[in-house]
Amino acid sequence: MIQGSMSMESEEPLPPEVAPPAAEAAGQSRRAPGRPPLREQEETRQIIIEAAAHEFVTAGFAHASMSRIAHAAGVSTRTLYRVATGKDDLFRIVAEQRIARIVADFLRVRGEGLSPAEELVELTTAYAGFVLGPEVSSTTRMVGEQQGRFPDLATSFRQNAQRLANAFDMAVAELFARRFPGRDDAAFIAHLLRLVFLGQQRQQTAGIAPPLTDAEIRIFARQVTGWIARTE
């Protein structure tokens, strides 16, 4: 997960003229003059981000290819470079979107009218689902393996991990202030919860523990929350 810019020796330069792949060319040929694009810009951006996330996880940062990302997204390389200036910028965009998505989940939980205990479980499940999910586990492994070659990659990854930790801590603190006014241990509870899930993540990344399914993550999050927070 990236925040900030990096200089990448393996970056692919923007070619002067790039023909769009078949998917994009076909879409352009079907569009009548004066009609709006068949695929909106934001939709195209999301498709590019998902293609980039898959490429980074499967190929690693060093071997990720902007050309392959463009092909997978069904756009020209020139269109891809309108979204991101290079691999480092694209990796940052992927990371920021993922964090924004999990923070939105925190806000969504608040508005669902759950009991205080269930609201805390859902907050914890959202955080655990992100940290223990296959994409983040694979990215963590990739960053660890390539941090010697790309030290800025590891630094920015840690910065984004801290951003997520801060967002989770704030969500738990807000919940305790609103739903558990008699308790003053929100920061301690949030810290312990994160430690448990990050410990599980390290075991998964090292191959010591198998990846958890979504259902297993939910059960694990509920058990850990009940044990640490003692809200039930």
For range 95-109, the mean pLDDT: 92
pLDDT in tens, 194-215: 999 999 999 999 999 999 999 9
Counting every residue, how long is the chain? Answer: 232
pLDDT of residue 63: 92
Q: Which of 25-34, 121-130, 174-183, 186-195 has the lowest mean pLDDT?
A: 25-34
Please report how many Cα atoms fall inside a 13 Å half-sphere around the Cα of residue 162, on the Cβ side: 7
Give residue 38's pLDDT. 52
5 pLDDT higher than 50: no
DSSP the chain: ---S----TTPPPPPSS-PPPHHHHHHHHHSPTTSPPSS-HHHHHHHHHHHHHHHHHHHHHHH--HHHHHHHHTS-HHHHHHH-SSHHHHHHHHHHHHHHHHHHHHHHHHTT---HHHHHHHHHHHHHHHHTSHHHHHHHHHHHHHTTT-HHHHHHHHHHHHHHHHHHHHHHHHHHHHH-TT---HHHHHHHHHHHHHHHHHHHHTTSSPPPPHHHHHHHHHHHHHHHH---
The residue ranking higher by pLDDT, 25 or 116, is 116
pTM reported for the whole predicted model? 0.77
AA identity, residue 198: L
pLDDT at res. 159? 87
User: What residue ranges do the domains of the chain occupy?
Assistant: 96-229
As assigned by CATH, the class of the 96-229 domain is mainly alpha
Given pLDDT bands bounded at 50, 70 and 90, which one contains residue 230? confident
Local confidence band at 3 (pLDDT 50, 70, 90 cut-offs): very low
Please give the mean pLDDT across all residues of the chain: 84
Cβ atoms of residues 186 and 175 within 8 Å: yes
Instruction: Kindly report, residue by residue over 16-64, the tens digit of the pLDDT.
Output: 434 444 344 434 444 445 545 556 888 999 999 999 999 998 998 999 9
Give the Cα-Cα-Cα angle 33, 38, 41 (nearest 5 degrees).
Answer: 110
pLDDT at residue 158, as a whole number: 86
